[in-house]
Amino acid sequence: MPSQQQQLIILRINGQRFSVSIEPSESLNYVIRERLGLTGTKRGCETGGCGSCTVLVDDLPVYSCMMYAMQAEGRNVVTVEGLQGAGGELDPVQKSFMEKGGLQCGYCTPGFIMSTKGLLLRNSKPSESEIRDALVGNLCRCTGYTKIFESVRAAASANSRKNR
Amino acid sequence: MSLAFKPNFYVKPKSLEEALEILSKYQDRAKIIAGGTGIYEVSHRGLLSETEALVDIGAIGLSYVRTEEAVLKIGACTTMSTLLASKQVGEDPRLAALADALRAIQPLQVKNVATVGGAICTALPFFDLPVALFCLAANVTIAPSGRREEIGKFVQGYFSVNLGPSELVREVELPLQEEKGGNGKSASAFEKFALTGDDWAIVNAGAHVTIEDGAISKSVVSVGGGVGEKPVIAAKSSKSIIGAKINNEQGIKDVLDKSVPLDIETVSDIRASAEYRLRVAKVVVRRAVLAACRRANI
């Protein structure tokens, strides 16, 4: 069986263009972490269940472990590293998780933050059930979720105060 | 990433013709990818070690939802999220089973990329959308020949659909004819029973009913989950509720309790025993039927 041909692709990540030579079977998660060194996005189950690999592709939360990097060409990818402002100020979602203590070990946190960011981009006043529905694909083994939901609610109300 | 899955190359054709050319050249050494979640699961389990060409059909214009002369046409590459957000699915009670099924598909990260065509062609019996499409008598249109096939015949078993190596599913069609004559009103519903908020269905069911003068005049019931190699059209259950008065919920329950076990043969697996599945199936089918009846009665 002939081996994989390396292909050169251009990925747009956090507003920056990266030219990278990859094999077709490499997932977006693998390329982000191992080839581009953006390790804020985590690798958990690699089978599309835990959500620690969640990134935004064209503002939509997706599992980067289940998407081949080649599929992301031509699309806008945002990882947790891309949420900070130009001067290093944290995104309101990141601030809320910090202030409300929505984490313990922190491993699931970037995934939750990206799912939350995706939620607030499409729905600035989510109801309780809309919050839960948006986070079904993110698992946490530490917190029991209570403080995570508080962080999301706080981020949503900070968001709607800002937009008034 | 699976060590066995090492496609030679990945290609993203810009037109249907180009895609078909590649498929025709590589035949079963090519694999179509749309959302990628199905391909990922299958390749991760070592099932695609012979694949040489990964053909991404995301850019050949198959993402659309449109109504043409009382037929709903859904492009095969339409994502679950896009379909759920569409006007037709949101508003038409006849299509409500689609909305229910799309809401049941979890999580959002999968819905945002998984496609209608992908769900049908991956052909796992516990998927949610195909079960809804079964009860709504959907047809698939296949390129290049343009042949149309009813989804119940197109889906053959685990990972198996009636598709040759140089063919692809282009579109899914749903008839929207309202009942002619009488005051019949149609609606559909879909119900899912799973262990957690984002697990596969233990049992799921779709129901499409037409109500006339307070009674069921037409019905199609589909069942999926652990009930066989593909979703089942529950023929006896569909027939058994014809004539039932929709305000006689106990009567409908009694009839379905007898007919559902005749329509399906449940399996035991890691999630549930066959006996438990059968008990749950009666409830899930009943709920789908009653929900469809209530919607039709509005």
Report CB contact under 8 Å: B40, A66. yes
Position B2 scores a pLDDT of 54
Of B81, B70, B57, whose CA–CA distance to B173 is shortest? B70
Is it the case that residue B182 has pLDDT exceeding 70? no
- With cut-offs at 50, 70 and 90, classify the pLDDT of residue B1: low
Report CB contact under 8 Å: B110, A61. no
Report CB contact under 8 Å: A51, B12. no
Distance from C-alpha of B119 to C-alpha of B78, rounded to nearest angstrom: 11
In tens, the pLDDT along B210-242 reads 999 999 999 999 999 999 999 999 999 999 999
- How far apart are the CA of B11 and the nearest CA of chain A, in angstroms? 9
Of A83, A47, A84, A79, whose CA–CA distance to A66 is shortest? A47
Structure tokens at B7: 């496609």
Position A1 scores a pLDDT of 46
Position B56 scores a pLDDT of 97
Position B4 scores a pLDDT of 65
Is it the case that residue A140 has pLDDT exceeding 50? yes
In tens, the pLDDT along A50-78 reads 999 999 999 999 999 999 999 999 999 99
Position B233 scores a pLDDT of 97
- How far apart are the CA of B1 and the nearest CA of chain A, in angstroms? 7
Position B147 scores a pLDDT of 97
In tens, the pLDDT along A110-138 reads 999 999 999 999 999 999 999 999 999 99
Report CB contact under 8 Å: B44, A134. no
Is it the case that residue B180 has pLDDT exceeding 60? no
Of B137, B103, B101, whose CA–CA distance to B238 is shortest? B137
Mean predicted lDDT score pLDDT of chain A: 94
Mean pLDDT of the B156-161 span:
94
Q: Which element (helix H / strand E) includes B205?
A: strand B203-212
Q: Give percent of chain A with pLDDT exceeding 90.
A: 88
Of B41, B77, B83, B73, whose CA–CA distance to B61 is shortest? B77
Position B184 scores a pLDDT of 86
